[in-house]
């Protein structure tokens, strides 16, 4: 199953295959939920699927380990990282600082609004199709589009890694529909406020949104830890 999915990505490498491109493909797969937390990434299977050398793949693994998406276990191999409650709190600390600061200074309809609206529409389509993983992906795309309003390639790169890590957090929610569905209307509300150029109100809505999501996830992690201890 892993090979089938990655074979479709092989064309993305082109003739100038690099560890960065391989890392980008794997990062996207992690973000989309194809590689779940705790899953072992098989070197031979991935190198064959992407048509790259083991050295290239290992360098990509190193990059993703640096981004806190993978972890190496001695004599066992490379695994998708399993995050804990402290990770959740830190991820949302970064999100609040970056996303809220991006919208704060907006005073007119931003040029990147179409991308934000498109993410909302993708979310609605996923909801209509009962595609809960797709709904989560659309939510991530919405926030990537919000961050893109800053017009900074460096901030975009930072937040892509954070959003990929966030996908690992979402797996703790046993009912993805219950978690993701209410945020679609919040996304739509934020998009409408941004269309009016009201960055101050968008910041308030976004902070409340992120704070609520953080509390939900922290509670879910706490319940899971209590169950394991019990």
How is domain 85-229 classified at the architecture level of CATH?
A: Up-down Bundle (1.20)
Domain with CATH 1.20.120.530 in the chain: 85-229
Q: How many angstroms separate the Cα of 137 from the Cα of each of 104, 132, 180?
A: 25, 9, 10
Domain with CATH 1.10.10.10 in the chain: 2-80
Summarize pLDDT for 70-94 with one digit per residue, the tens: 999 998 999 999 888 899 999 999 9
How is domain 2-80 classified at the architecture level of CATH?
A: Orthogonal Bundle (1.10)
Residues 57-67, mean pLDDT to the nearest whole number: 93
Residues 42-69, mean pLDDT to the nearest whole number: 92
What is the distance between the alpha carbons of residues 116 and 32, in angstroms, rounded to a whole number? 18
Summarize pLDDT for 8-40 with one digit per residue, the tens: 676 656 544 588 889 989 988 887 778 888 999
CA 70 from chain centre, in angstroms, equals 14
This prediction has a pTM of 0.77
What is the distance between the alpha carbons of residues 190 and 204, in angstroms, rounded to a whole number? 10
Does the pLDDT of residue 118 top 80, yes or no?
yes
Listed as own residue / partner, the contacts of 150-158 with beta carbons closer than 8 Å and 24 or more positions apart are: 150/102, 155/98, 155/102, 158/98
């Amino acid at each position: 199953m892993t090979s089938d999915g990655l074979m479709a990505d092989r064309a993305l490498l082109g003739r100038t295959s690099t560890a960065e491109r391989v890392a980008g493909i794997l990062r996207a797969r992690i973000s989309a939920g194809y590689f779940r937390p705790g899953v072992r990434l098989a070197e031979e299977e991935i190198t064959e699927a992407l048509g790259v050398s083991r050295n290239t793949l290992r360098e990509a693994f190193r990059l993703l380990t640096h981004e806190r998406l993978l972890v190496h276990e001695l004599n066992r191999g490379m695994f998708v990282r399993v995050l804990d409650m402290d990770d959740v709190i830190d991820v949302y600390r970064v999100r609040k600082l970056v996303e809220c600061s991006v919208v704060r200074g907006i005073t007119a309809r931003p040029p990147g609004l179409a991308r934000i609206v498109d993410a909302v529409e993708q979310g609605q389509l996923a909801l209509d199709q009962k595609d809960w993983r797709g709904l989560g992906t659309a939510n991530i795309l919405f926030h990537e589009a919000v961050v893109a309003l800053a017009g900074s390639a460096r901030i975009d790169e930072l937040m892509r890694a954070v959003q990929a890590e966030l996908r690992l957090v979402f797996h703790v929610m046993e009912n993805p529909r219950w978690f993701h569905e209410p945020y679609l209307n919040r996304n739509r509300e934020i998009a409408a406020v941004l269309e009016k150029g009201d960055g101050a109100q968008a910041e308030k809505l976004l902070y409340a949104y992120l704070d609520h999501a953080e509390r939900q996830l922290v509670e879910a992690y706490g319940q899971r830890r209590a169950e394991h201890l019990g």
